[in-house]
Structure 1
Amino acid sequence: MCILLLSTAHPKYPLVLLSNRDEFLDRPTKAAGFWPEPDADVIGPMDLAREEHGTWIGVSKSGRIAILVNFREETVSDAVSPISRGALVRHFLVARDQSTSEWAQSAITKAGPGGLFSVGGFSMVCGVLRRRPTAQQGDLPASKPVDEERLEKMAVLTNRSTSLDEGTSWLFSPDECANPAVDQETESTSENDLYSTVRKHTYGISNSLYTNPWPKVYKGCDLLSSLIAEDIGNPGSKTGDKEEFISSLFDILSTDNLPRDALGSGNPALVFDALKHSIKIPVFSSTSGVLKADEDLLSPVPTDSSMTTDEPAVVVQHVNSRFETHTSDKPYEFRQGKYYGTRTQTLILVDNEGHVTYAERDLNDPLRREHSIHEFDIEGWNE
């Protein structure tokens, strides 16, 4: 139950991006860092549970960026697929000679024997970070939101729409894609023009279709828009100190408004519905494929072998894919862990000069709860 929020309205940052990864706590994961050769230009975490060692988020020094969120399936077996979702993100990040549209069209037909339907349900935002040639150059007024798109458009690709052709939308391109996370009624009646302008350029997606946002997406977009509007209205209040701004963004990702009454009901349908409302998912137990709140809710997370479970594995035979370089036929075993919640929080800031600040923290690893920061300049930012 992940979430992605992003905005292009801040005068100092053409891109402000926030991501929560919700996952079983015992799924092995490598912290974000630059990858080994030949992909040392890419930074991102790695999923170590599957042989592909894919990822859900990453950005390269050449500006390629991709973030994936799962589509909520009804059963564990539906959620596990022969082709790793994370392999798609990895493939895009290292497909250096392909444009976003070329890569998307290739993925639709070549990701596996059934094209993208060989992959479990997902939505993926991807593109190449470049300043739009028509965008205003130089420093922008710090007290005014940006009401023009400064980035080249990005794709929103999903395999859970009516058709894959309909499943490709474009962000930062109003003539091609509306912003479904905007509350039109609130925007049209708001007396706060500053907030309305920021909100119009603030996007979100979770575990439903991009065109059908969950309540947590509206909430996240509202909080992010409010923070940016507050900062613009009081220049230097947050971004004068980037570390304070980063801290405020992490606060948004840590917003916990999970409806406890619904969780305590013991009704699986209500439990799943409750997860749609909270940006951060507190750690709780999951058994027999159903997230439950009748035991261990918000209890301290064990650090020993009691975190594992005897739930049977879902075994999926790997299918060789022309799209991937991975060719192993070794089956992948998905063993559901007992404890589930928001594990990893990631921020990506891109400033007007193409300087990237990548911050990550792991809420459930005592050594990684304080965020780490990596910084670099995008090659070809102004090309």
Structure 2
Amino acid sequence: MCILLLSTAHPKYPLILLSNRDEYLNRPTKSADFWPAPDSDVLSPLDLAREEHGTWIGITKEGRIAILVNFRETQNSDAVSPISRGALVKHFLVARDKTTSEWVESAIANAGPGGLFSVGGFSMVCGVLRPKSSQDSQSTEIIYQERLERLAVLTNRSTSLSSGTSWIFAPEEFVNPTIQEKENCSDTYSFVREHTYGISNSLYTEPWPKVYRGCDLLSSMIAEDIASGGMKIQSQDALIQSLFDILSVDELPREALQTGDPVAVFDALRHSIKVPVFSAVDGVLKEDYDSLSPVPTEESIQNAADGNVIVQHVKSQFETNTSDKPYEFKKGMYYGTRTQTLILVDNYGNVTYVERDLNDVTKKEPVLHEFKIDGWSE
């Protein structure tokens, strides 16, 4: 039940990106860091549960960026696939010789047996970060144009893969599907909202309530800062805190959880940006775990394992291993928002990457990485 929010509307930041990763707490994961050579320009966390060691979010020093969210399947058997979704993100990040369009076309054509339809349901935002025009980094005036080159939104849960590719930051080609009509909105808010996007575990063109809510909160924050002449948020640290506050909004309708009905439970999760930690028993999330209490011990999580999921091995261009060992992961008892990630890109191409782990008590401070995008102003 992850969420991705992004905006190009802040005058000082051509890109503000927010991401929540919702996952089982016992799924082995490596915190965000630069990869070893020969791919030391790539920054991402890693999923260690699958042999591909894929990822759901990453950025390179050359400005290649990719973020993937799962599609909420109607059948549990569709949730696990022979090809790792995280391998797609890794593959894009290191495909330095391909434009975004070329990579998307290649991904659709060369994914292996069954194509991308053999991958679990996903939506992936990817592209190369480049400004459309330079801007004064000290200006707080509204910039009435898209500020970044377009990014692709690729999904394998549309009626066909050819129609499964959309583009954002390209209003002449695609209308922002998250906008809802509102009364008595300021011109500043309306502009910001038009340039603020979101996606969760549904089709990009069919946003969940949490996406509308997240886009509205992000747009309001940016619009208020613009209206105040930059006095509302006077430092990047203050901006980062405000963005984490948005990612931490918990509006889960608790009454749905008391029904024990899986449909009602998962429908409830569509409404909350942050998913508090719950125990997942027999496919139903139940609020019998207090997210404010100490995190479960490693032993208790291991003891709560509920079985294996095994799928047949299929080779594709996205594989990073040659083993015939099938994918195998023991789901734990506890599920919820595990990590929150922010990516800020300023007018000079400076990247600030911040990752916060909500459920690992050994990680006292967020992971922070900063660098400048190579070729930003070329």
TM-score normalised to structure 1 length: 0.95
Structure 2 match to 1:211? 205
| Alpha-carbon displacement from aligned partner over 1:145-185 (angstroms, at most 9, x marks no partner) | 222011000000000001111110000001111100111x2
Report SS of the residue matched to 1:218: helix
Q: 2:300 aligns with which of 306, 310, 321?
A: 306
1:333 aligns with 2:328: yes
Q: Please state how far the C-alpha of 1:380 moved relative to its aligned partner.
A: 0.8
Would you say the 8 A contact 1:361–1:369 is kept in 2?
no
More moved, 325-334 vs 278-287: 325-334
Write the letter of the residue equivalent to 1:190.
N
More moved, 353-362 vs 237-246: 237-246
CA distance in 2, matches of 1:29, 1:83: 18
Would you say the 8 A contact 1:4–1:205 is kept in 2?
yes
Write the letter of the residue equivalent to 1:311.
D
1:286 aligns with 2:286: no
1:296 aligns with 2:289: yes
Report SS of the residue matched to 1:149: coil
CA distance in 1, matches of 2:317, 2:199: 29
CA distance in 2, matches of 1:220, 1:25: 24
Superposition map of 1:10-49 within 5 A: 10-49=10-49
Write the letter of the residue equivalent to 2:374.
E
CA distance in 2, matches of 1:315, 1:307: 20
1:252 aligns with 2:250: no
Structure 2 match to 1:174? 171
Q: How many corresponding residue pairs?
A: 376
What percentage of aligned pairs have identical amino acids? 68
Q: Please state how far the C-alpha of 1:372 moved relative to its aligned partner.
A: 2.1
Write the letter of the residue equivalent to 2:179.
V
Structure 2 match to 1:160? 157
Unaligned runs of 5+ in 2: none
Write the letter of the residue equivalent to 1:247.
Q
Structure 2 match to 1:138? 136
1:93 aligns with 2:86: no
Structure 2 match to 1:317? 312
Would you say the 8 A contact 1:56–1:68 is kept in 2?
yes
Tell me: CA distance 1:96–1:198, structure 2 relative to 1, closer, same or farther (3 Å).
same
CA distance in 1, matches of 2:110, 2:186: 47
| Alpha-carbon displacement from aligned partner over 1:218-262 (angstroms, at most 9, x marks no partner) | 000000001111111123335421111101100000000000011
| Alpha-carbon displacement from aligned partner over 1:64-84 (angstroms, at most 9, x marks no partner) | 000000000124321010000
Q: 1:375 aligns with which of 361, 370, 375?
A: 370
Would you say the 8 A contact 2:351–2:370 is kept in 1?
yes
CA distance in 2, matches of 1:129, 1:335: 37
CA distance in 2, matches of 1:65, 1:265: 41
CA distance in 1, matches of 2:18, 2:329: 28
Tell me: CA distance 1:191–1:83, structure 2 relative to 1, closer, same or farther (3 Å).
closer
More moved, 320-329 vs 33-42: 320-329
CA distance in 1, matches of 2:355, 2:32: 7
Write the letter of the residue equivalent to 2:46.
M
Q: Please state how far the C-alpha of 1:289 moved relative to its aligned partner.
A: 2.5
4+ runs of 1 displaced by more than 6 Å? none
Unaligned runs of 5+ in 1: none
Q: Please state how far the C-alpha of 1:369 moved relative to its aligned partner.
A: 5.0
Tell me: CA distance 1:223–1:319, structure 2 relative to 1, closer, same or farther (3 Å).
same
CA distance in 1, matches of 2:292, 2:230: 39
Write the letter of the residue equivalent to 1:275.
L
CA distance in 2, matches of 1:369, 1:8: 31
CA distance in 2, matches of 1:250, 1:369: 16
Structure 2 match to 1:237? 231
1:3 aligns with 2:3: yes
Report SS of the residue matched to 1:224: helix
Write the letter of the residue equivalent to 1:41.
D
Would you say the 8 A contact 1:363–1:369 is kept in 2?
no
| Alpha-carbon displacement from aligned partner over 1:269-288 (angstroms, at most 9, x marks no partner) | 11000000000000000022
Structure 2 match to 1:267? 261
